[in-house]
Chains A and B, each alone.
Chain A
Amino acid sequence: MLCQECEEREASLHFTKIINGEKTEVHLCGVCAKDKGDYLPGGKSFSIHQLLSGLLDSGQGKQTKQEGTRQARQRRPELKCGTCGMTYRRFAEVGRFGCADCYEQFDEKLDPVFQRIHGSTQHTGKVPKRKGEDMHVYRELESLRQQMQQKIEEEEFEEAASLRDKIRGLEESLKEKGGGAS
């Protein structure tokens, strides 16, 4: 979303200001936020959620100036989850997804978010048994392929060949299962 002050740059600071019980939502870009020094972090008005939402939104601040101005003229339709109705903007504010499908719907913006929070974008842990039977095989395959590449580079061709056979075997078993199950 655009900065409410200059209406030109992407807003990167989002928070709720409360004055005399009146709530006002404030959305500013870094430049305008600096001008209005009182909004800058360090003030006590920032809650963890506000900080988190700043973090979440930073994923979209990387566009070029050109894109920024194009967007200013013609507002891009907002990212919205069709299943639960959550918008990306709301997600950035509250720091919570609405449903499992939000992950898919907001996908284009999530890599930098996860990278910042977790230093990673890809799950490598537990896979549920029922749902992920095949995933175990895919992961095994991935690891075998890497090993095979390694062996080829090291010119250990005999070992590479035996890894290749293993890979073929697994691929076959996947095919058979896919054919039988669907």
Chain B
Amino acid sequence: MTLRSFMQEAVSPWMKNEGPDADIVISTRIRLARNLENVPFPLVAAEEQLQSVYTGTADHFDQRSHRRFGTFSMLPMQSLAGNEKRILVEKHLISPNLARENQHRGVLLSEDESISIMVNEEDHFRTQCLLSGLQLEEGLKAANTIDDWMESKLDLAFDERRGYLTSCPTNVGTGLRSSVMMHLPGLVITNQLNRIIPAINQLGLVVRGIYGEGSEALGSLYQISNQKTLGNAEEDIIKDLKHVVTQLIQHERDARRQLQEHSLNQLEDRVYRSYGILSYSRRMESKEAMERLSDVRLGIDLGILPEVGAEILNELMVMTQPGFLQQYAGMSLEAEERDQRRAALIRERLLMETTQEESDGGGDE
């Protein structure tokens, strides 16, 4: 059954650590907000209007094949278990808001999960393309292709002056939010990021921590995205973002080099301590897991831990979330139990790295 395959195939393409600059850019996300012309937006729409949007979308796109992205499948929120929804959130395929809903809500997923279309979230459609590494142009192209496909079958709300009309005035125009998830431990350790963020904000871009609350960014993971959606063409929005991200990558590389040159011993100590803790601990809170994984990943990128694959950060930051842990355990877990399972899962995953290394003699498959 397709639903099962969606759930059990835990690794989405964006977690695979491929693509340009994947040592620093974890993933690229392009989102387009779209609405139908003649139906009130979901927050205001009546029950039967939501239903008509949902069924109309399913009729056009569920189990339909797109020549480039394969078959799309609609997952209705109503028929998903709580934990299945949670996993979709943890994989960044749907928003927590959509997961809270049931009736007449769903997500259309492409076979490889690189494309997801939320139906009846805040807007009728939220099309998302999620790719590994820095791939803004590719992401926009893919999202546009899907957008054209949808537009060929649906009457989308568009105004010559205001562009694509959205529920929230902050999305009007292009409806485009482009964002890049970056791993910036070098800039965090050398205390440079706090200085850089205000400068980025001045350029109309938003920087925020991905995990953790408020300004706290767990695991040195940050998301940079455009704020303005009206007035600039999509290509220009992406170009501006890419310009800043490219500079950030440069700064991060410089910071890492600095650390290697001037504090290699401290750096190695930090990496090996975290690696040791991840390899042997019996309880692990998600907060600590994120920090340790970030250290280990930095060690991998700098050649300190050559035997471990770089994709463990991307994979484990998702698979150590509560939904995945419960899926893996096959039952629901209390916080306490989750900490034990999390530690076990990380140990198991790290062991896989070293045993695989021995069995196939270090060749990379």
Contact = CB atoms under 8 A, between A and B. Distances in A.
Decide whether A and B are members of one complex. yes
Interface of A: 52, 56, 83-84, 86, 94-100, 103-104, 110, 113-114, 117-132, 135
How big is chain B's contact interface, by range? 35 or more
A99 B148 contact: no
A83 B169 contact: no
A114 B172 contact: yes
A95 B40 contact: no
B125 to A, nearest CB: 13
23 contacts: A52-B170, A84-B40, A96-B122, A96-B167, A97-B166, A97-B168, A99-B44, A100-B38, A100-B159, A100-B165, A114-B169, A114-B230, A117-B170, A117-B228, A118-B228, A121-B161, A122-B230, A123-B159, A126-B144, A126-B174, A131-B155, A131-B156, A132-B160
In order of increasing CB-CB distance, the 9 nearest A-B pairs are: A120-B231, A123-B163, A100-B157, A118-B230, A99-B40, A98-B44, A125-B174, A125-B233, A84-B40
A100 B169 CA distance: 11
Contacts of A126: 144, 147, 163-164, 174, 233-234
Given A96-B168, A114-B162, A118-B172, 16 more contacts: A94-B43, A96-B122, A97-B166, A99-B39, A100-B41, A114-B230, A120-B228, A120-B231, A121-B161, A123-B231, A126-B147, A126-B174, A127-B158, A128-B156, A129-B151, A135-B160
Contact of B231 (A98, A99, A118, A128): A118
Contacts of A131: 151, 155-156, 158
Contact of A128 (B44, B158, B204, B228): B158
Given A84-B44, A100-B37, A132-B158, A125 B169 contact: no
A126 to B, nearest CB: 6
B120 interface: no
Contacts of A122: 161-162, 230-231
Nearest to B231: A120
Contacts of A94: 43
A125 B228 contact: no
A94 B169 CA distance: 11
A54 B71 CA distance: 45
A125 B237 CA distance: 10
Contacts of B164: 123, 126
Contacts of A104: 159
Contacts of B176: 125
Given A83-B40, A97-B41, A119 B165 contact: no
A125 B41 contact: no
B263 interface: no
Nearest to A118: B230
B228 A119 contact: yes
A84 B228 CA distance: 27
Nearest to B163: A123
A119 B170 CA distance: 11
Most buried by B among A52, A104, A124: A124
Contacts of B229: 118
A120 to B, nearest CB: 3
B185 interface: no
B246 interface: no
